[in-house]
Chains A and B, each alone.
Chain A
Amino acid sequence: MNVDLIFRIAGIGIIVSVLHTVIKQAGKEEYAWLATLAGIVIVLSMVIQVINQFFETVKTMFRLY
């Protein structure tokens, strides 16, 4: 269901933040930034699907063509 998506996004956020801290502690600043960027891209691709579904639904329901 939809709750899955919310949990998945929150999980990715927590993992990314932990990863960021760990890599930063290891002294690889640029890799930490890269991990954050990858997390943001993954989350964005998941959010965009839901938002696309939302827009399509509004378009068909209110006949906004």
Chain B
Amino acid sequence: MDIIQVLAFALVAVVLLGILREQRPDIAVGLSAAAVACIFLLLVGRVAAVVSVIRDLASSAGVNEVYLSTVLKIVGVAYVAQFGAEVCRDAREAAIAAKVEFAGKVLILILAVPIIQAILETVVGMLS
């Protein structure tokens, strides 16, 4: 059972953080970032399996590869941005966390521009 493993890992990390947070908040930030990254690395195989299934479905449905890779890139950017923002917020730097989230939103918007353009071109083509 993977969930038990993740839960045990998280509980160990939380107990150690509870000890460390009082004494050394600087090292506690590093510990929590490492714990988050380790839990992600624990689950990475499952996520990769889901992504490959989605890729197979899209290719059998005849979806353009560009659209799917854009969506996956957006998911990746969102994941990394969320991770950075959580670590910043953990260190009680809410301003930097908000800016990291803002950067993630802007970069996602930039990635989505080609798809928006394609939709608008299709709509204009239908109208004219």
Once the chains are docked, how many angstroms separate the CA of A10 from the CA of B27?
8
Once the chains are docked, how many angstroms separate the CA of A43 from the CA of B9?
19
Number of CB contacts from chain A to chain B under 8 A:
101
On whether the beta carbons of B76 and A10 are closer than 8 Å, the reply is no
Contacts of A9 in B (CB 8 A): 27, 30-31, 34
On whether the beta carbons of A12 and B27 are closer than 8 Å, the reply is yes
Range, interface on chain A: 20 to 34
Name the interface residues of A30-48: CB closer than 8 Å to any CB of B: 36, 39-40, 43-44, 46-47
Interface string of B6-41 (1 = CB under 8 A from A): 000100110010011001101110110111011011
Q: Which 7 A-B pairs have the closest CB atoms?
A: A62-B76, A10-B16, A2-B38, A13-B27, A17-B23, A54-B37, A47-B30
